[in-house]
Each structure stands twice: as C-alpha cells, then as structure tokens.
Amino acid sequence: MSEDRVIRLLASGGHSRSDVVLGIGDDGAVLAPPPGRQLVSVLDTLNEGVHFPPGMDAAAVGHRALAVNLSDLAAMGAEPAWASLSLSLPETDSKWVESFAAGFHGLADQWDVSLVGGDTVRGPLSVSVHLVGFVDPGAALTRSGALEGDLVYVTGWPGEAMAGLRVLESGGSISSPRLERRFVRPDPRVGEGLALRGLATAAIDLSDGLGTDLQRLAVASGVRISIRVEDLPVSREIADIFGAASALELTICGGDDYELAFTVPPQQEDRLLRLAEHWSCDLTRIGRAEAGEGLAFTREGQAYPVDMSRAWRHFGEQT
C-alpha cells in the first residue's frame, strides 16, 4: 500500500473545522487562529512496547495517541483545535490503518479537533501527535500558581489505568473490563479543565503518576504539597483484584491515568463543588499546599513513608 493511500485512510472520516483554511493534501496546513487568543501547543509520542503493549487494538492506539495530548491541553484549560500526526509503521496494513483512524477520529470528533497534517514512515510502530488549542490571554492554567493554603484535588480514580495494564498483561488470567478500559481508552478531562479556568491556581495532568506529577507541581509552585493518605480515592476494583497494599501503591505511583490534579483557594471550594456536580468523573480533595517544598504524605496526622522508586520513570530502570 502506497504512502498516499495511507494518508487517505488516515484522513477519511476526519472532522473539519471552519478555521482550517487548507488541511491535509498540501505541503503544509493553513490555519486561521481566532483573533486575540493565544495558542497552546503540546506533543506526545507513544512507542509500542513502551507506552502500550505489542498487539494492542489499533483503534485503541489511535484513541490513546490523541487522548494523551488532549489531557495536556485539559491541564492548561485550553480548547483543543488542530492536530498533526506522525505515524511510523512496520508494514502498511490497510485494516490496521483504518481501525487506527476510527479510534483517533472518534475522540477527535468528540472534542472538535481537526487532523490537519502529518507524516508517515516505515519503522517500528510509533505515534506522535502535535495538538494545538486556544486560551484567552493570561488564562492558561499552569503548574506554577499554587499558593500556601490552597486545597489539592484530583479527578477520577488514579491507579486504575496501570492496574488495567496489569490485567492486559495477565494473558486472560485476570478479568476486569473497567480497569482494562481505563488503560486502553483513557478519558481526557477536557471539559473539567475548561471549567477550572479562573478557578484553579495550578493544574497538572497525571501521566506519570499522582505522586510524581504532584511533586512537579510543588516544585514549579515553590510550595510543599501535603497529601492525606486516608483521603486518597483508592479504587475498590483494584483492591478487590490486587489487594489493598497494591491498590494504594498504584493510586500514588501508577501512571497513564490522564486525570487532573489541581489546587484551588479554600474560598473557592464551594464554587468548585457546585461545578463538579455536572462533571463526568468523581472529584476528591486529597491535601493542601503548605509552606516548604516537595511532596509529603501523612496518615492520621503522622508522616507516612512512600517508596517513590516504584513510580514510572521515562529514563531509568523500573523496580
């Protein structure tokens, strides 16, 4: 199958926005940014055998490739708009490409995203997506705005995605459709991120695990994030399958959740909770920003040791 045929398959069924002046089919895309708005640009790469298991369903790969980028935009309170795709394929299988495109465009349509260009090459299976969104000037959420006294919240059930990967890797000996779906088809919290504009003081998406990513937020904001272990949303599904200790470890150290962790001033908590009544996910208060630095865990008022060496690291041996 020719490269032109691959490109046509990837483009087919795609959503078209009115601000795409010229999309797929030329040497570059011509786009019309909204006047007076700022652009937010994100990019993520997924490699087979690193970010998803070999042989994973092509539609799920397409969904995940876009979802991880949507999650970054969600953490910045940005409205998604335009995507570019770089796809490396070991062989040109038309059914695989069609399925991949269906998974990608299914999520793209949900969030009004147009695929406007990209590249295809022969090589190990790898997907890179560049996604651009819009914010009003000065309205982007960042990791660096948390203040002493702010409350720390997290969406959803961190740890379920990594537990879902364990289910997939069990070869069928463990069954949990809920956990498996949390890894295979994560739900980026785009709507929730948009709702947090003007409300949250800092935000981050949980790609590398709750503990690792909150540590990053703490460093960027120059505060200490203190987490009450007893308040963490530990998934009952994980606990039932893998045990309570593993459930807590996965909640703190598991990655690939693409939930949002964020801080809000105490005086904004009631407003937040009213908004969250209409959200598609659960919301849990798990701690507070304090004077100091780094990340701390407590249980019933006492320091609680957490082995962060169990957390995901891109450049380091996993234990």
pLDDT of 88 > 50? The answer is: yes
0.85 exceeded by pTM: yes
The pLDDT tens digits of the residues spanning 111-169 come to: 999 999 999 999 999 999 999 999 999 999 999 999 999 999 999 999 999 999 999 99
| 140 part of a folded domain | no
Are 297 and 237 part of one and the same domain? yes
Residue 248 and residue 232 in contact, taking contact as beta carbons nearer than 8 Å: yes
| pLDDT recorded at residue 319 | 37
Are 291 and 181 part of one and the same domain? yes
Are 185 and 49 part of one and the same domain? no
| 301 part of a folded domain | yes
CATH number of the domain enclosing 185? 3.90.650.10
Are 77 and 210 part of one and the same domain? no
Are 164 and 253 part of one and the same domain? yes
Are 121 and 8 part of one and the same domain? yes
CATH number of the domain enclosing 110? 3.30.1330.10
pLDDT tier for residue 92 given thresholds of 50, 70 and 90: confident
| pLDDT recorded at residue 171 | 86
Mean pLDDT over each residue of the chain, to the nearest integer: 93
| pLDDT recorded at residue 203 | 98
Q: How many domains, the chain?
A: 2
Closest-CA residue to 128 (of 215, 256, 42): 42
Q: Strand pairing of 79-89 and 202-205?
A: unpaired
Closest-CA residue to 85 (of 71, 105, 112): 105
Please give the helix or strand (H or E) that residue 275 lies within, else none: helix 269-276
Residue 227 and residue 296 in contact, taking contact as beta carbons nearer than 8 Å: yes
Which residue segment(s) compose the domain that 26 sits in? 3-135
pLDDT of 222 > 60? The answer is: yes
